[in-house]
């Protein structure tokens, strides 16, 4: 990997669609050296991508760029000066993982540097026209068309802000773009990709989310689609070429929450935080819950949806609300979108998300005529802003790519919503407080068993997880955690479906994990026994240990079972990943939030 300092003078010049991932943007405009603050900010955003990274600063009269393949630590090898600049951590989509495809990208005169999160759908046509007009390209990215288009507009006499406004009108797709000029001016535009501004007196920050600037300020502006922002002595925001005012919001997170706090990995810290975050999830404002219940009561049909881990929370939430007597459907957002025309304005969509920026979920909501109730973690996210009502899960920043505390907090809020619909908010709150205590106990009491199961999994290539009723979603989530962190092939099935084909794959020593819930208990024990008779090693989780299981995690008979059951398997997946030499915070081929379809 080559990552050097390029002092941009007057020489010649030089992405998350198909892989369904995202990149991270950081910008700084102020009086201090920009590079160090951008570097620290990018470290906070590495969960959004870590194939390559780079920083560009305006060191009037030139742009200075440092970039290359690898993490920001691997790339940041030299000091570059300047009091304004931009940075980027990339997840490859357009173009391979190499130095030349790393951001920032520059124009032919190397006077403008650009970073970009998202996808420019029409970049190929734009690139061909630019080439025909004499522009040279040295990357395979969609991003590189932007600095060349800005260059042309500025040659016509436009300012950087005016140039960006013109260029943005010609772009198709979803994007957050930031650009810095060699003289220090900085601009940005947001369209269907998150972008926030941190305000700290005379210094301003720009980032894909709030975590990069929390150590400097808790005051944030969340840009809206079509917003163009200019940093040039003062902060100005425009939409449709007209000045607009955007509210400065106080973010109730702090920098310490977004640090490892002495743990080896963010995921380890976030698993252990769950006794606290489950408690925080219980502290929903009564009026917010009552407003949500009104939405439930008015709806003809209720759709619960999400993607990935959030979809499992949505599926469990559907079962909670069915128990309360509601007419409920659940489906993952990317599939529900295909039948969005069956959703009416008299229905309700409950959208579950950690980031509030998941492209498939937002795309579904764009097509749905029904009101939206958001269950989300990220304050100021697109989902939170566009929903009719929001219940925040209050889990704080979740940095590890694999969701842990956000999942259990989502479950807590959805269960509390069930209690609220039954007029038992305080009973529900007490249930979650008991759950918080039970999570701590189940991890502590089963520590040796959790470590033994982790050691066992390191020698396996396949694993199967089964459950019935609410145990099926737990099997889904436990299997997902194991495979996304350890790269062990893991699948989940309803207990009754396991024998319809998959049982043929069970042989001597195949691990089969069974979630033993009260509902369907005898049947799931029978399913596990059938697997054992074919040679399977059984791993169980439930209230009462079964001696025929090789390993068994016993959970206390208190609190919300689903939260208590999943925590040990989060820890098992984490420990297995570490023991196999993987980085559990940054599993291969994955990123924290899917911001492009």
Active site residues: 23, 592
Q: Token pair of 482, please?
A: 């194991």
Angle between helix 447-457 and helix 561-579 axes, rounded to 10 deg: 50
> Residue 69 forms beta bridges with which residues?
52
- Kindly report whether the peptide bond that precedes residue 61 is cis, defined as omega within 30 degrees of 0: yes
Q: In the chain, what's the furthest Cα-to-Cα distance?
A: 80
* Residues sharing a CB contact under 8 Å with residue 426, sequence separation 6 or more, in sequence order: none
Cβ atoms of residues 16 and 91 within 8 Å: yes
Token look-up 């128990």 returns: 323
**Is 11 buried (19+), middle (13-18) or exposed (0-12) by CB count in 10 A?**
exposed
In order, the DSSP letters of 36-60 are HHHHHHHHHTGGG--SEEEEEEEET
Helix (H) / strand (E) containing 307 = none
Helix (H) / strand (E) containing 335 = helix 333-336
Tell how strand 203-207 and strand 24-29 pair up.
antiparallel
Q: In what order do the strands lie in the sheet with 235-239?
A: 105-106, 112-120, 173-181, 186-191, 227-231, 235-239, 242-243
CA dist 507 → 456, 541, 546 (Å): 16, 22, 21
Q: Say how many Å lie between the first and final Cα of the chain, rounded.
A: 30
* Residues sharing a CB contact under 8 Å with residue 6, sequence separation 6 or more, in sequence order: 64, 65, 66
Backbone dihedral region for residue 92 (phi beyond 0: left; psi -120 to 50: alpha; all else: beta): beta
CA dist 69 → 116, 532, 583 (Å): 16, 47, 18
DSSP structural state of residue 246: -
The tally of CA atoms less than 13 A away on the side-chain side of residue 574 is: 24
Whole-angstrom Cα distance, residue 463 to residue 112? 51
Q: What angle do CA 185, 190, 191 make, to 5 degrees?
A: 150
Phi, psi values for residue 280, rounded to 5°: -65, -35
Whole-angstrom Cα distance, residue 256 to residue 58? 30
> Residue 514 forms beta bridges with which residues?
466, 540
């Amino acid at each position: 990997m080559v990552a050097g300092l390029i002092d941009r003078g007057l020489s010649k010049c030089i992405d998350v669609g198909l892989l369904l991932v995202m990149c991270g943007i950081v910008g700084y405009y102020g009086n201090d050296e920009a590079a160090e603050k951008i570097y620290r900010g990018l470290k906070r955003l590495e969960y959004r991508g870590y194939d390559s990274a780079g920083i560009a600063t305006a060191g009037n009269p030139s742009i200075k760029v440092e970039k290359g393949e690898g993490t920001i630590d691997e790339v940041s090898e030299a000091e570059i000066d300047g009091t304004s600049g931009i940075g980027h951590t990339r997840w490859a989509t357009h173009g391979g993982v190499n130095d030349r495809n790393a951001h920032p990208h520059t124009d032919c005169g190397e006077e403008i540097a650009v970073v970009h999160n998202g996808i420019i759908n029409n970049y190929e046509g734009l690139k061909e026209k630019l080439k025909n007009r004499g522009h040279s390209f040295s990357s395979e990215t969609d991003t590189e068309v932007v600095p060349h288009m800005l260059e042309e507009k500025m040659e016509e006499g436009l300012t950087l802000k005016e140039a960006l406004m013109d260029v943005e009108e010609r772009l198709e797709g979803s994007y957050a773009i930031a650009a810095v000029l060699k003289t220090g001016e900085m601009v940005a535009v947001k369209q269907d990709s998150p972008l926030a501004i941190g305000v700290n007196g005379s210094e301003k920050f720009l980032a894909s989310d709030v975590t990069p600037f929390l150590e400097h300020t808790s005051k944030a502006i969340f840009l809206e689609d079509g917003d163009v922002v200019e940093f040039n002595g003062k902060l100005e925001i425009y939409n449709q070429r007209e000045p607009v005012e955007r509210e400065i919001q106080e973010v109730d997170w702090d920098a310490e929450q977004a640090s490892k706090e002495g743990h080896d990995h963010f995921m380890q810290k976030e698993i252990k935080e769950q006794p606290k975050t489950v408690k925080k999830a219980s502290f929903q404002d009564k009026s917010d819950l009552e407003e949500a219940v009104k939405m439930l009561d008015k709806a003809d049909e209720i759709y619960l949806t999400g993607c990935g881990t959030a979809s499992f929370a949505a599926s469990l939430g559907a079962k909670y609300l069915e128990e309360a007597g509601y007419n409920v459907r659940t489906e993952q957002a990317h599939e529900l979108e295909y039948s969005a025309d069956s959703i009416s304005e008299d229905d309700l969509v409950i959208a579950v998300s950690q980031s509030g920026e998941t492209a498939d979920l937002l795309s579904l909501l764009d097509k749905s005529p029904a009101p939206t109730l958001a269950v989300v973690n990220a304050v100021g996210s697109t989902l939170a802003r566009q929903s009719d009502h929001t219940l925040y899960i209050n889990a704080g920043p979740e940095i590890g790519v694999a969701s842990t505390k956000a999942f259990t907090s989502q479950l807590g809020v959805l269960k509390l919503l069930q209690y609220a619909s039954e007029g038992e908010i305080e009973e529900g709150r007490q249930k979650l407080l008991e759950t918080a205590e039970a999570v701590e106990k189940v991890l502590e009491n089963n520590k040796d068993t959790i470590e033994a199961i982790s050691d066992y999994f390191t020698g396996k290539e396949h694993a199967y997880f089964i459950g019935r009723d609410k145990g099926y979603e737990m099997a889904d989530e436990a299997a997902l955690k194991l495979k996304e962190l350890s790269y062990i092939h893991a699948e989940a099935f309803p207990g009754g479906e396991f024998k319809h084909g998959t049982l043929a794959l069970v042989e001597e020593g195949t691990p089969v994990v069974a979630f033993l819930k009260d509902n369907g208990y005898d049947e799931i024990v029978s399913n596990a026994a059938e697997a054992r008779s074919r040679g399977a090693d059984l791993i169980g989780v439930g209230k009462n240990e079964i001696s025929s299981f090789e390993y068994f995690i016993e959970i206390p008979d208190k609190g919300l079972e689903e939260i208590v059951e999943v925590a040990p398997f989060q820890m098992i997946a984490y420990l297995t990943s570490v023991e196999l030499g993987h980085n559990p915070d940054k599993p291969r081929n994955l990123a924290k939030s899917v911001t492009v379809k």
